[in-house]
Amino acid sequence: MSVRALPLLFLNLGGEMLYILDQRLRAQNIPGDKARRVLHDIILTMFNKSFIEELLKPQELYSKKALRTIYDRLAHASIMKLNQASMDKLYDLMTMALKYQVLLCPRPKDVLLVTFNHLDTIKGLIQDNPALLHLVDETLRQLIEVYGGLSAGEFQLIRQTLLTFFQDLHIRVSLFLKDKVQNSNGRFVLPVSGPVPWGIEVPGLIRMFDNKGEEVRRVEFPHGGNYVTAPKEGSFEVYGDRVLKLGTNMYSVNRPVETHTSGTSKNLSSQAQQSIAPNPLAKEELNFLAKLMGGMEIKKTSGPEPGFRLNLFTTDEEEEQAALTRPEELSHEVVNIQATQDQQRNQELARIMGEFEVMDQPRWSASKGDDLLAMMDEL
């Protein structure tokens, strides 16, 4: 398992979350100023300098529950609220979209281009906010510094780690089903056409060499696909043409994004057992979560401006029905962390909070979040 997969997982899933929220905010005709504030608040929290620094430290991937807790907090970092059914649907869409993108990466290194596409598109949502643009650009520079020197083998390990994380997720998404890239059982259809990975020749030719290393014969064979040579390599710089389209916003056109749960009873049973079984890394996961949230700046709603509830379903009735019919073992329960119960943990969190305090926050941001211990207790 790679110790460099977590930042790519978090940033890509976060990008997908912003795409979906942006689409739903527009679909529900939320006033522009409120929609902009929600997206800007989430992006400010997501790209907090101290949070990104902690995230980029080498560390193993943690459980779906621990990561889900992060996104639950992230989605509620502003005046918008989601109920359990909508949050479940949001997370389903995020994970299935990224699973599809990682599966279709032409080469392992291209998972970094997928990440850059997400960050580039996020910058398009905050063009009017130079302070946020600086935070995202700084994250891009740090990613280039951390991942720029990794070998093909290390990227392959990162890709394999991500695919292992998504292995048992087979949730049907209407958009994928309509585009015929997903089967009715929730599994994706891999294409047999399009550009081959950069630096690779189109399949269909076998070269034979003698013991001196000289080519003596060529044999062509039908490969059964419709492949073409890649036009050029995507840019791995802060600014540039990524070439690869994976990771761009597939909700830019107003399309429905209903999800349907799928899976055999055997799969559901195994997932239920996995969620019930004691996790030997539970303490480490909570420590990890506490450290990450120590760097998160969660903004509280202040002043007379009221919050609002966002529905990821077409109607409230659909949302209520989804909450009733969703298999219990597929529901994501948020991890509760009672930080005040452990005096030693309190001291550690206080130290972390002191280290993570950012003095040079943009002038336009609201006051800093509540004390870390109180914030953790509210989870």
Residue 375 has pLDDT above 80, yes or no: no
In a domain, 276, yes or no: no
Q: For residue 231, which amino acid is it?
A: P
In a domain, 334, yes or no: no
Tell me which of 185 and 354 has the higher pLDDT. Answer: 185
In a domain, 53, yes or no: yes
Q: What average pLDDT is seen over the chain?
A: 79
CA dihedral angle for residue 365, residue 368, residue 372, residue 373, rounded to 10 degrees: -130
Least confident of 40-49, 147-156, 169-178, 340-349: 340-349
Residue 371 has pLDDT above 50, yes or no: no
In a domain, 163, yes or no: yes
3-state DSSP call for residue 167? coil
How does DSSP classify residue 148?
Answer: T
pLDDT computed for residue 78 by the predictor: 85
Measure the CA–CA gap between 148 and 209, rounded to whole angstroms: 35
In a domain, 374, yes or no: no
Residue 367 has pLDDT above 50, yes or no: no
Q: Which helix (H) or strand (E) holds 362?
A: none
Residue 356 has pLDDT above 90, yes or no: no
Measure the CA–CA gap between 7 and 206, rounded to whole angstroms: 40
Reported confidence tier of residue 147, pLDDT bands at 50, 70, 90: very high
Residue 229 has pLDDT above 60, yes or no: yes
pLDDT computed for residue 359 by the predictor: 44
What's the rounded mean pLDDT across residues 137-157? Answer: 96
Q: For residue 265, which amino acid is it?
A: S
Residue 119 has pLDDT above 70, yes or no: yes
What's the rounded mean pLDDT across residues 221-238? Answer: 90
Q: Which residues touch 48 (CB under 8 Å, ≥6 apart)?
A: 135, 295, 296, 297, 358
> What token pair was written down for 199?
């630096």
> For 263-290, b where at least 16 C-beta lie within 10 A, e where not — what string?
beeebeeebeeebeeeeeeeeebbebbb
pLDDT computed for residue 287 by the predictor: 56
Q: Which residues touch 361 (CB under 8 Å, ≥6 apart)?
A: 297, 368
Of 319, 327, 288, the residue nearest 90 (C-alpha) = 319
pLDDT computed for residue 192 by the predictor: 87
Domain span at residue 101?
5-252+286-294+306-326
In a domain, 275, yes or no: no
What's the rounded mean pLDDT across residues 38-65? Answer: 91
Q: What are the pLDDT digits (tens) for 312-353?
A: 766 666 666 666 666 555 555 444 444 444 455 555 555 555
In a domain, 345, yes or no: no
> What token pair was written down for 142?
């740090």
The residue with tokens 């291209």 is: 110
3-state DSSP call for residue 96? helix
3-state DSSP call for residue 173? strand
In a domain, 134, yes or no: yes
pTM score of the predicted model: 0.76
CB neighbourhood size of 334 (10 A): 14
How many domains does one find in the chain? 1
Strand pairing class (259-260; 172-173): antiparallel
Asked if 29 contacts 309 with a C-beta cutoff of 8 angstroms, the reply is no
Most confident among 62-66, 176-180, 223-227, 350-354 (mean pLDDT): 176-180
pLDDT computed for residue 363 by the predictor: 41
High-pLDDT (> 90) share of the chain, %: 48
